[in-house]
Every structure is written in structure tokens, then in C-alpha cells.
Amino acid sequence: MRSLICPRTLLVACGLAAWSVTMPCQAHFLWIKTITQDEKPQAFLFFGESPADEAYHLPEPLAKTKLWSRAKDNKRTELATKNMETDERIGLIAPLESDAPSVLEATQTYGIYGKTLLVYYAKHVHAASPDELNAAGKSKELKLDIVPHVEGDKLQFTVLWDGKPLEGSELSIRVGDAEPVDKKTDRDGRAQLKLGGEGLVSVLANYTEQDVTGKHDGDEYQGVLHYASLTLGPPTSTAVEQPQSTKPTHTEDPQAAHMPLPEPVSSFGAAVSDGWLYIYGGHTGGEHEHSSENLSNHFRRLKLVEGAEWEELPMQTPVQGLALVAHGGKVYRMGGLNARNATTKDDEDLHSSNEFAEFDPASGQWKSLTPLPAPRSSHNAVVIDGKLYVVGGWHLKGKSPGDWQPDALVYDFAKSEAGWRKLPEPPFKRRAIAAGNWHGKLVVIGGMNEKGRVSRRVDVFDPKSGQWTEGPKLPGSGLMAFGGAACDVDGEIYVTGLQGVVYKLNDTGSAWEEATRMATGRFFHQLVPTADGRLLAVGGASRTDHLADIESIDVKVDGRRL
């Protein structure tokens, strides 16, 4: 038996389908917290990457979750829940009789992914003082339980498995918007954190029963993965006024409108060359649906002029999570993920590709080039000064786990006979990244790291010095840095993500500044430039669905670059 915070191998970069290869838990957990609505305390159960991520849809197995309230006398009461779905929150909500101290609890079996049964446990301690928190005690109905306790200036957590202390359990502890802190429990199942910081405290733990077998809904499983979450804190108000941005919010310019994509798609490749927008492949199915029938089998282009329509081009291997770039009037694609299982009813058979090919619009033909040294997908690529840089990603070989790619590569178009060569090894391994060119430097933004956590880290490679340096972290929280897209215009780099903010790296490269806001937040989309200096946010996925629209974003005010 083993205890891990989150397996590294559960995700594939595929838009809304990004959440699962064998299990859907990566980056998403069952949470409970208290909120205030209509001036009354409410219990709120939801499924998110963190307690701040409240608007991810609640999967069907979790929509049946029962929510319980345990009072000071340990009497448990089932709460009457109802569905809540707004732009800001999606989940189950239930009124609380009072604002008195209580413990909210829930447990639910998600189902089988791969061959593993997944079970969630969620807990929230609603307490206004250390004494009230310490009185909360154990949750006997939760087989995997995290028990909080204040000791002086320390906040202590005890992890219990079936009522007994769990030694060596890895905890991920976050206070407010701060970066998570990793702790491991001692032989008494305890770990502690010094009190400090502001905001809701959240804790994650898990436990794997490797040798347990059985059936769930008629399907056999081998092993059970248990996930527990804990939150602490007083109610938060939904009526708190949010700070207003001082930057302009984007509104659609009718003169800049373009024909939407023929179908909603995410995790595709896109590039602009000679006034044409090229789109290759991508994922078209629903969440958790990985199959060849859910891969776009299209290579298309659209002239970026008003009234133009999409043209079909010759397609090669259908892939998602690929990179597409333009250089010298030609279009280049590299890598990507191909699903060899025909339908979602078949066992997933996912393979990263090492293909590297050139499309010549003049002849309408593809030409195979020197393959990548190793297959990769969920990576990114940028052309800087006549050289093609490839960074990030991983290599999937049929089933998880995949191998995270440690190398960054460069290909000199002027010396194509030399093929690919490795850059100095990057100080990171991440996928679902954004990447772009900032004044001749390669900027790698966000993504997911080996521990399965969304990272706001930024790394910069200078081709002149051959050195990697760490840049300023991307602002925001939650999924802002996962599956984002970047684009450089006039030497400046912009990045967008699910929160809808358009950030620009400032003139000194020391901080990200909000330039404007998108009409629709999205991820696993593409961001490309236009000839007149605008940005186009193409396709991708929102929190609830795939997108087909192309949003025009003006990053100039009175002719000045924002």
C-alpha cells in the first residue's frame, strides 16, 4: 500500500478531456465550504482543482453525493441539497440552520477509471475560534479522515485511515492563494504548519489500496484510490464586491469578426502565415472521452479578411496536443497525441507522436522532416530568429504512466541537415504550457508539473547566453496557468487562460501586467496575431463546453501597445 498526493500520469492535454486518462482526480477534488447567500449561511459542495475553483461542472457520479452536518454534540443531520449553477459557482448547495460551529461531511464513489476504483471524501470545519476547531474531532463516517487541531502557534493535521493514524501520508496544504506546502505525517499520522497567512486553509491527502479487487456497477476493479479534502474557515460572502480592473475590458469589434470554426475543438494546433489562419487536428469529444472518433480529422485554413470561409486542406495523422508554427511562408507541425482505440467503449490506447512535417501552401503538399528525437505531446513550440524551439510535454505509450520530457530542442531552418539538437536541460518538467517569444528569448509559462499541480512558474531561455533563468510568476489562481496560450506581437508577449485576463510581460521582464480582458475565458485554445497587431483567441474550451468562436482582442489604445 502507498500514499501519494496525486499520480503524475492521469492527464492528457485535450481541453475538457484533460482531466482523465485512467482516473479523473488529477487537479480536481471534491470540496465543501460554507458561503453566505441571501444573508444566510449555506453549505456548498463542488468539484474543483482548489477551493477557489468553484465553477467546474459537477460530474454525474458526484451529483448524487449526500451532504451531512455534524453538530457539537456529534449528532449528524443530512442536509437538503439543491443544484446550483451560475457563472461563478457550480455544485450542490444546502441551507444551514444557523451559523453555529459544525462539521460538514461527504463521501462518494466516483467510479472506475482504468482498473482503479476512485472514492472521494470531503470535510469542512466551520469554526470561528481555535477552541471550536479543536472540538470538531474525528469524522467516523469518513474512512480517510483529516483531523485539524490548533497547538499554540501551530496548526496540526492528523490523517486517519479506518480510524487509525496513517504514517507517511503526503499532505498538500494551502493557505489562501499561497503556493501549496508539502508535508508528510509522522508515525502518529501527524503533520503541522505554523499559523500564518490569510484565507481559507485547504488540505489534500490520499491512500491507495493496491491489493483490493471487486466490482462496481458490474465492472471489475483492481485497487482503490481514496482522496480526502479538508477546508477550514468562517463563511465567506457571495456579496463581497470584487475589485474592478483598471484595464479596458474587451468588447467585440464587428469589423474584426471572423468565421467561427466549423466545429468546436480544443487542444489543436494553430498558426498564421501570409494572412491565413491554419488549424490542425484537436479534440472534439466530451470530457473523459479519448478515442480516434473524438480526434478532429481536419486540416483547415481561413483567410483573415471579412467574409472569408474555411478551406479544407490535405490531412495527415489526426492528433491533439500538437504544436503548429509558421516560418518562411510554410507551416510546420510536430508531435501530438493519437488515440488508437476506435471508440470510448474500448480501452484507451494513447500514443504520443514524433512526427515533424512541413506543409507548403503553394503546392498543397506535406513533406516529412527529421522526426523529433522522442515522441511528445502536450508540448509547445516557438520560432525565434529562424530557429524552432520545442519545449515541455510528455510521452504516452498506450496507457499511463507516461514519461515527462526533460529535454528542450532546437531546429535551425537554415541548417535542416543537422536535424534536432538539445538545449541546456530546462530546470523543469511541465506540460500543457504556454510559450512565446519575448525580445528574442523563449518564455515558457505555467502548465502542470510532475506532481500533478498547476504551476504559475515562468522560465526564460536566452539563445545568446544559452542560459535558463526563472521569470516572474504568472498572476491569478486556479487553472489560469493550465492549458493557457501565449502570443508575441511586436516583440511583446501576451498570455491568456481560463480566467479570461490577458496578461503582458512588462518592458523589463520583471512582472506580468493586466492588458485587457477577454469576453470568454478559455483554455486549451490558441492565441495568434493579426497583421494589424490584434490577437485572436481561437476555439478551446470554457468551464462547461468546447468552443468554436474566434474572439478578436485589441491590445492597443490610441495606437499604443498595452
Q: Domains in the chain, please, with CATH?
A: 15-237 (no CATH), 258-561 (2.120.10.80)
- 126 neighbors 101 (Cβ within 8 angstroms): yes
Q: Which residue, among 99, 172, 98, has the nearest Cα to 129 in the 3D structure?
A: 99
Instruction: Give pLDDT, residue 249.
Output: 47
Residue count (the chain)? 562
User: Quick check: 7 pLDDT over 70?
Assistant: no
Q: How far apart are CA 218 and CA 446, in angstroms?
A: 40
- 406 neighbors 28 (Cβ within 8 angstroms): no
Q: Confidence band (pLDDT; 50, 70, 90) for 54?
A: confident
Beta strands in 217-298 (DSSP E): 219-232, 236-237, 269-273, 276-280
* Single-letter code of the amino acid located at 68: W
Lowest mean pLDDT among 375-384, 400-409, 522-531: 400-409
User: Quick check: 287 pLDDT over 60?
Assistant: yes
pLDDT tens track for 57-108? 889 999 999 999 998 888 899 999 999 988 778 999 999 887 788 999 999 9
* Mean confidence (pLDDT) of the chain: 86
**Cis status of the peptide bond prior to 235, with omega within 30 of 0:** no
DSSP 8-state code for residue 243? P
What is the percent of the chain with per-residue pLDDT over 90, rounded to a whole number? 64
Most confident of 258-262, 371-375, 529-533: 371-375
pTM of the shown model? 0.65
Q: Is 92 helix (H, G, I), strand (E, B) or coil?
A: strand
Q: How far apart are CA 408 and CA 87, in angstroms?
A: 38
pLDDT tens track for 442-500? 999 999 988 878 899 999 999 999 999 999 999 987 678 999 999 999 889 999 998 89
The three grid cell numbers given for residue 140, joined into one nine-digit string: 467516523
Q: How far apart are CA 327 and CA 322, in angstroms?
A: 17
Locate all alpha helices (DSSP H) within 298-441, ordered by sequence: none
What number is the average pLDDT over the span 309-336?
A: 97
Lowest mean pLDDT among 86-90, 143-147, 299-303, 422-426: 86-90
Instruction: Give pLDDT, residue 17.
Output: 33
User: Quick check: 26 pLDDT over 60?
Assistant: no
- 122 neighbors 32 (Cβ within 8 angstroms): yes
Instruction: Give pLDDT, residue 130.
Output: 86
What number is the average pLDDT over the span 376-396?
A: 97
Instruction: Tell me the torsion sign for CA atoms 254, 260, 265, 268.
Output: negative
Report how far Cα 440 is from the mean position of its chain's Cα atoms.
28
Q: How far apart are CA 72 and CA 94, in angstroms?
A: 19
